[in-house]
A and B are shown apart, each in its own frame.
Chain A
Amino acid sequence: MMKSKVMLFVIVLLAVSAMAAFANGEKAPATAAAMPQRTINVLLWDDPYPKALMAMLPEFTAATNITVNIEMLQPPQVLTKTAISVTNTTTDYDVVGIDEGNVPVFASLLLPFDSWYKGTVYPKTDPKSVTPKMYSIGTWNGVQLGVPINGNLYVWMTRKDLIENPTYMSQFKAKYGYALGVPKTFKELLEMGTFFNENGIAAGFGPFNGGPAGVLSEAVFMWESYGTKFIDFTGGTFKVVLDEDKAVEGMEFYKKLMTISPKGAETMAHVERQAAFAADPKGVFSMFIWPAQIAAYEDPTKSLVAGKIAYSAPPAGPRGQAAVTGAWAIAIPKASKNQEAAAEFIYWWSSKAIADKLVQANTIPARTETLTNPAYASSKPWLPALADSMKVAASRPRFKEIGQVQDVVKKYWIMGITGAMPTRDAVRAIVKETNDILQKAGY
């Protein structure tokens, strides 16, 4: 009895020490610079982009003698931890990543960009280096609070191998009277999608019906394309300005797209979309993508369609074209005690040299010159598409109660597009409940 207890203890001890050895296997490289040793804590969202950055950290530490602890969590968890830990007087993090929609919540706790320290090793980020449409993401009430760091907004993906297939091309032309290609309008999207879906070649469309923030993006995308805004800041307050008829049209169209989508479309979140588009042998003809995820779709070990995707701006609706933004800004809390080192880190991250490297890793920095650099256009075909999308960028409404509004939109939007509720009733319910929330919040 005693013996087996001891054995167990030894096993556990071995396991722990083995793991500890793994964990401490690599130490930060020795620094040459004669600068004081400093450490900053950074909270970021978890996707390939910050991961690619993380691999470059030793270079930064070598140049500045600043050690960077990066904590990466899923976006909702980043919000929670930032909300709990950052106050006017305390913070666990010297640099935080803030999803564009949450900038209003944290605005009063962040150090305005103008008061950021001037870098010693890296020059202060030039706001003009960021595409103007994306630039506003880091600002609130006219004050710049953070540097928009990733050029994340709707880009359209279409299966190149499908639209370039001669058989499909001729069949489609015969039936619809125009050439198969990257869909430029909603009508083309629906017709081409229907063609592939009906003939059992591929699913026509990949909707997003996952988390509330993403569903709101889809709704805003449809509504903007049908010529109506959802919520606007007018007369010093937030108002629902949704045009009921246009909103219903948009929802009806999405409902049609749902009929040419893969099975299980009503619960498709990012992972399910990725499975449908990139891993399913049939795949999906056309759908939007957050560029932050392109790396996974172009990775041959994860994707059957790597190298077979045509990228473009989203197709245009009857009354407009829209690409919804979903970018992150990085900012420094007022309460940080390492503001100099934090600024240095951000300047390094947003520099041209790093942006170039991040592009090589199939991720999307926000720097315009990198995105539009013709040298990358052929090997990274999504970059020109991204630049096109930016011309029609549209943002989701931003205010502190957006969390509640998102839930309302998600609930009724999905009921509407799956036929659980007439679309007009769904739109009315969205308007009514959003108004209730705004009224209660005192707008």
Chain B
Amino acid sequence: MKGAGGHGSPVPFLLPALLIVFAVLIFPIIFSFVVSLFDWPLSAGGGSRRFIGASNYVDLVKDKEFWNSLKLQLGFIFIAIPLELVLGLAAALLLNREFQGGRVIRALILLPVFFLPVVSGMTWRFMLQPRYGALNNFLLALGAPEITWLGDPTFAYAAIIIQDIWRMWPFVFMLLYAGLAGISTDILEAAEIDGAHFSKRLFSIILPLLYPTILTALLLRIIDALRIFSEVYVMTEGGPGMATTLFSLYTHRQAFGYMKVGMASAMAIFLLVISIVFAVTLVRKNMSLEKLEERGGDR
């Protein structure tokens, strides 16, 4: 199960990426870490920048809004992404056949992924308005109760999740559809002719084969969902109250609203630690290079 042999050095191949990543990603992270130990007003006019050790971290741990934002962020990920997976998988299974106009339909389904996040947020904000909001009026016509969607903490939270599902499930669909297309149709047809029930085919054949694709989709979605910002900011500004202030919105508020870059940096470092834990547990278990190579070698 070995990969390629060891001759030659990987350094020339890794160097350009390392240079770029170091300059525009790792350097800012180191800078963030240093700043997180300072009282660092965003503006030079906001007072002097002084070293305060771990005070920002202490403040952060004591800040209930911080924990609230983390809870909202995780909730967002745990609700939105599984739903996106289910929708994406269902659509991929259904559309995994040739029919008239199939290609156009698949391309059209992808459109929301390209919709600018700020515009998406604004469009949803307006669709949900009472009186002139198109979606709101549509729901009313279906007999839904009259709700000020973005004015109610629960509904506003639901709304930003629905917005994200709407925008991003096609992304999952695209990945899974392609994954399915890669599974030999012989296997699928053989199972169908054998008369295996759909559920049996799904769980014993399709899902295991699709597993690595699902993991990739999951991973990419989690990375992006952790950074979600502009669409939520435009839709609710984190309100009502703090009901939709996700982690990145709270970071934004600390850095640019309160001008406390030190606190915002401490939040980033905190997130970095969470990410590392996530990577060395879940990701390593399921997606290590050796695992991928095994699969590669199996074919």
Whether A280 and B131, one on each chain, are in contact in the complex, defined by CB atoms closer than 8 angstroms, is: yes
Complex formed: what's the CA distance from A87 to B253 in Å?
Answer: 21
Q: A267-B240, A411-B242 are contacts. A418–B44 as well, Cβ < 8 Å? A: no
Whether B241 and A86, one on each chain, are in contact in the complex, defined by CB atoms closer than 8 angstroms, is: no
Q: 10 closest pairs, A vs B, by CB?
A: A263-B130, A83-B43, A266-B151, A264-B130, A87-B44, A83-B42, A109-B45, A267-B151, A80-B256, A106-B45
A265-282: CB near B (< 8 Å → 1, else 0) gives 011000010011001100
B residues 239-267 touching A (CB-CB < 8 Å): 239-242, 253, 256-259
> How many Å from the CB of A207 to the closest CB on chain B?
12
A residues 411-436 touching B (CB-CB < 8 Å): 411, 414-415, 418
Whether B148 and A414, one on each chain, are in contact in the complex, defined by CB atoms closer than 8 angstroms, is: no
Instruction: Give the interface segment out of A186-194, A292-300, A307-315, A400-408.
Output: A400-408
> Which residue of chain B has the shortest Cβ distance to A401 in the bound complex?
B258
| Residue in A106, A262, A401 whose CB lies within 8 Å of B130 | A262
A108 at the interface (CB under 8 A from B): yes
Whether A404 and B256, one on each chain, are in contact in the complex, defined by CB atoms closer than 8 angstroms, is: no
Chain A residues proximal to chain B, CB less than 8 Å: 76, 79-80, 82-84, 86-88, 105-109, 210-212, 262-264, 266-267, 272, 275-276, 279-280, 400-401, 403-404, 407, 410-411, 414-415, 418
Chain A to chain B contacts (Cβ below 8 Å), 15 pairs: A80-B256, A83-B42, A105-B45, A105-B259, A106-B43, A262-B131, A263-B130, A263-B148, A264-B129, A267-B239, A272-B129, A400-B46, A407-B258, A411-B241, A414-B241
Q: Please, which residues of chain B bring their CB within 8 A of the CB of A401?
A: 258
Whether A280 and B151, one on each chain, are in contact in the complex, defined by CB atoms closer than 8 angstroms, is: no
> How many Å from the CB of B62 to the closest CB on chain A?
12
Q: A264-B151, A403-B258, A403-B259 are contacts. A82–B43 as well, Cβ < 8 Å? A: yes
Q: A105-B43, A105-B46, A106-B43 are contacts. A415–B131 as well, Cβ < 8 Å? A: no
Q: Please, which residues of chain B bring their CB within 8 A of the CB of A410?
A: 239
B112-153: CB near A (< 8 Å → 1, else 0) gives 000000000000000001111000000000000010101100
B residues 31-47 touching A (CB-CB < 8 Å): 41-47
A211-B237, A212-B257, A411-B242 provided; 18 other pairs, C-beta below 8 A?
Answer: A80-B256, A86-B44, A105-B46, A106-B43, A107-B45, A109-B43, A262-B130, A263-B131, A264-B130, A264-B131, A264-B150, A266-B240, A267-B150, A275-B129, A400-B41, A403-B257, A403-B258, A414-B240
B209-247: CB near A (< 8 Å → 1, else 0) gives 000000000000000000000000000010111100000
Whether B256 and A76, one on each chain, are in contact in the complex, defined by CB atoms closer than 8 angstroms, is: yes
Q: Please, which residues of chain B bring their CB within 8 A of the CB of A211?
A: 237
Q: Please, which residues of chain B bring their CB within 8 A of the CB of A264?
A: 129-131, 148, 150-151
> Which residue of chain B has the shortest Cβ distance to A90 in the bound complex?
B44
Whether B44 and A109, one on each chain, are in contact in the complex, defined by CB atoms closer than 8 angstroms, is: yes
Q: Please, which residues of chain B bring their CB within 8 A of the CB of A105?
A: 43, 45-46, 259
Whether B258 and A83, one on each chain, are in contact in the complex, defined by CB atoms closer than 8 angstroms, is: no
Whether B46 and A83, one on each chain, are in contact in the complex, defined by CB atoms closer than 8 angstroms, is: yes
> How many Å from the CB of B264 to the closest CB on chain A?
12
Q: Please, which residues of chain A bring their CB within 8 A of the CB of B239?
A: 267, 410, 414
Complex formed: what's the CA distance from A79 to B256 in Å?
Answer: 8
> Which residue of chain B has the shortest Cβ distance to A80 in the bound complex?
B256
A106, A210, A280, A407 pick with most chain B CB within 10 angstroms: A407
> How many Å from the CB of B106 to the closest CB on chain A?
18
Complex formed: what's the CA distance from A400 to B132 in Å?
Answer: 39
Q: A211-B237, A415-B241, A418-B151 are contacts. A404–B258 as well, Cβ < 8 Å? A: yes
Q: Please, which residues of chain B bring their CB within 8 A of the CB of A86?
A: 43-45
Complex formed: what's the CA distance from A52 to B96 in Å?
Answer: 55
> How many Å from the CB of B230 to the closest CB on chain A?
12
> How many Å from the CB of B32 to the closest CB on chain A?
15
Complex formed: what's the CA distance from A405 to B259 in Å?
Answer: 13
> Which residue of chain A has the shortest Cβ distance to B131 in the bound complex?
A263
Q: Please, which residues of chain A bring their CB within 8 A of the CB of B47?
A: 400
A83, A86, A264, A414 pick with most chain B CB within 10 angstroms: A264
Complex formed: what's the CA distance from A357 to B130 in Å?
Answer: 39
Complex formed: what's the CA distance from A365 to B129 in Å?
Answer: 34
> How many Å from the CB of A331 to the closest CB on chain B?
11
> Which residue of chain A has the shortest Cβ distance to B146 in the bound complex?
A263
A83, A86, A275 pick with most chain B CB within 10 angstroms: A83
Complex formed: what's the CA distance from A264 to B147 in Å?
Answer: 8
Q: Please, which residues of chain B bring their CB within 8 A of the CB of A210?
A: 237
Q: Please, which residues of chain B bring their CB within 8 A of the CB of A109?
A: 43-45
> Which residue of chain B has the shortest Cβ distance to A107 in the bound complex?
B45
Whether A267 and B148, one on each chain, are in contact in the complex, defined by CB atoms closer than 8 angstroms, is: yes
Complex formed: what's the CA distance from A63 to B242 in Å?
Answer: 51
> How many Å from the CB of B66 to the closest CB on chain A?
14
Q: Please, which residues of chain B bring their CB within 8 A of the CB of A266?
A: 148, 151, 240
Q: Please, which residues of chain A bring their CB within 8 A of the CB of B258?
A: 401, 403-404, 407
Complex formed: what's the CA distance from A410 to B45 in Å?
Answer: 25
> How many Å from the CB of A67 to the closest CB on chain B?
28
B residues 146-173 touching A (CB-CB < 8 Å): 146, 148, 150-151
